[in-house]
Amino acid sequence: MTALLGVQNLSIAAGPKAPLVEDVSFAIGKGEALAVVGESGCGKSLTSLAIMGLLPSNLKRMTAGRILFQGEDLMTKPQRALQAIRGNRIGMIFQDPLTALNPVMTIGAQIAEVLQAHRPMDRAAARARAVELLDMVRIPHAAERLDDYPHQLSGGMRQRVVIAMAMACGPELIIADEPTTALDVTIQAQILDLLVELRARSDLSLMLITHDLGVVTRVAERMIVMYAGTVVESGTVAQIMQAPRHPYTAGLMAARPHGSFRLTGERLTDIPGTVPAPTKRPPGCLFEPRCPRAGDLCRTTRPDLTAEGGRAYRCHFPIG
């Protein structure tokens, strides 16, 4: 499969001894959905901001690697060129729709602003297209809601507006950063169904950032697992879900709630400890302080990424 997006050896740091993302590589093919999984602080969102060219200036100066979009390196493009791509050929769905939307602009005006920034159309045409987009994301009575402000909508409706804005210009790639985190379970399911439907209808590529493995199985074909700024496992969703090789991936899977835990009073399994701070990362394997399989080698030597049967893992003592 030809890669639409290729991230190659991406590294981001807050300082000489404060790595945030280290040597991250992955690719997304045309029409493919890739999930990026891991706890908070693992570098998932920073990776997406780097792709969009939205890193703060202090981090941009400490960023290395290549981000190829249809063969063009976004890391070398000037800001004006990135603005022509961002919101046009690559759309983004942010985690919190209330902060992603401007509270003093109507939702119709915000969608029209995206359209007019990238398409030659007047205000009337942009408003008409905004109604079509709101209808596409299943907002009832779309024409009547056009002049509503974000605070007049429910959380689920606001997220649908953010999706409409991301889809406005017919992008080839959508990056969805925890798109269901702030929503209740019923609305989460509706938003996920909407993403699956829009992707199938438009032949979209999707990069889904999440900590919810249930979301992954519903939306993506391939996944990468990130820990402390590095990729620790990658492969198809079926491969990793059926037989994780890295202890961190296995820990995430064991921590998932299952159907009976509420009824039995059973406690959820957790992974002891926390993700190490960038300035306090261990000299060997980054997961070693939390790993039940760690040995002496893990404490001194950083494991390489081992490729095997279409998948890869970074572990001295893999499972299985």
Interacting residues of 156 by C-beta distance below 8 A, sequence separation 6+: 183, 187, 190, 191
Instruction: Using the predicted structure, report yes or no on whether residue 58 has a pLDDT greater than 50.
Output: yes
Nearest CA-CA partner of 85 in 98, 99, 73: 73
At 261, the pLDDT band (50, 70, 90 cuts) reads very low
Instruction: Using the predicted structure, report yes or no on whether residue 258 has a pLDDT greater than 70.
Output: no
* pLDDT for residue 89: 96
Q: b/e per residue, 277-299, with b = 16+ CB within 10 A?
A: ebeebbebbbbbbbbebbeeebe
Residue range 185-211: mean pLDDT, rounded: 91
Q: What is the mean pLDDT of the chain?
A: 93
* pLDDT for residue 1: 60
At 95, the pLDDT band (50, 70, 90 cuts) reads confident
Residue range 124-131: mean pLDDT, rounded: 96
Instruction: Using the predicted structure, report yes or no on whether residue 268 has a pLDDT greater than 90.
Output: no
3-state SS, the chain, equals CCEEEEEEEEEEECCCCCEEEEEEEEEEECCCEEEEECCCCCCHHHHHHHHHCCCCHHHHCCEEEEEEECCEEHHHCCHHHHHHHECCCEEEECCCHHHHCCCCCCHHHHHHHHHHHHCCCCHHHHHHHHHHHHHHCCCCCHHHHCCCCHHHCCHHHHHHHHHHHHHCCCCCEEEEECCCCCCCHHHHHHHHHHHHHHHHHHCCEEEEEECCHHHHHHHCCEEEEEECCEEEEEEEHHHHHHCCCCHHHHHHHHCCCCCCHHHHCCCCCCCCCCCCCHHHCCCCCCCHHHCCCCCHHHHHCCCCCEEECCEEECCCCCCC
CA dist 318 and 212 (Å) reads 23
At 256, the pLDDT band (50, 70, 90 cuts) reads confident
At 111, the pLDDT band (50, 70, 90 cuts) reads very high
Residue range 176-202: mean pLDDT, rounded: 88
CA 189, 190, 196, 197: dihedral to nearest 10 degrees?
A: 160
pTM beyond 0.85: yes
Instruction: Using the predicted structure, report yes or no on whether residue 316 has a pLDDT greater than 50.
Output: yes
Instruction: Using the predicted structure, report yes or no on whether residue 96 has a pLDDT greater than 90.
Output: no
CA 264 to chain centre: 34
The residues facing 311 across adjacent strands are: 308
- How confident is the model over 137-148, as pLDDT tens digits? 999 999 999 999
At 255, the pLDDT band (50, 70, 90 cuts) reads confident
* pLDDT for residue 2: 76
At 264, the pLDDT band (50, 70, 90 cuts) reads low
Instruction: Give me the CATH topology for the region 3-89+169-285+293-313.
Output: Rossmann fold (3.40.50)
Every domain of the chain and the residues it spans? 3-89+169-285+293-313
Tokens, residue 75: 């890391």
Q: What percent of the chain has pLDDT over 70?
A: 96
* pLDDT for residue 141: 95
Residue range 150-171: mean pLDDT, rounded: 95
Contacts 24+ apart (CB under 8 A), 16-24: 17/279, 18/278, 18/279, 19/229, 19/278, 19/281, 20/46, 20/59, 20/229, 20/278, 21/46, 21/47, 21/50, 21/229, 21/230, 22/229, 22/230, 23/65, 23/230, 24/65, 24/226, 24/229, 24/230, 24/231
* pLDDT for residue 260: 45
Identity of the highest mean pLDDT range in 136-145, 178-187, 261-270? 136-145
- The answer to whether 97 and 150 are in contact (CB under 8 A) is yes
Residue range 257-269: mean pLDDT, rounded: 59
- How confident is the model over 270-303, as pLDDT tens digits? 899 999 999 999 999 999 999 999 999 999 999 9
Interacting residues of 173 by C-beta distance below 8 A, sequence separation 6+: 4, 5, 28, 69, 89, 90, 91, 204, 205, 206, 207
Q: Which of 3-12, 159-168, 194-203 has the lowest mean pLDDT?
A: 194-203
Side-chain-facing half-sphere of 158: CA atoms under 13 Å:
21
Instruction: Using the predicted structure, report yes or no on whether residue 186 has a pLDDT greater than 80.
Output: yes
* pLDDT for residue 265: 58
CA dist 55 and 31 (Å) reads 26
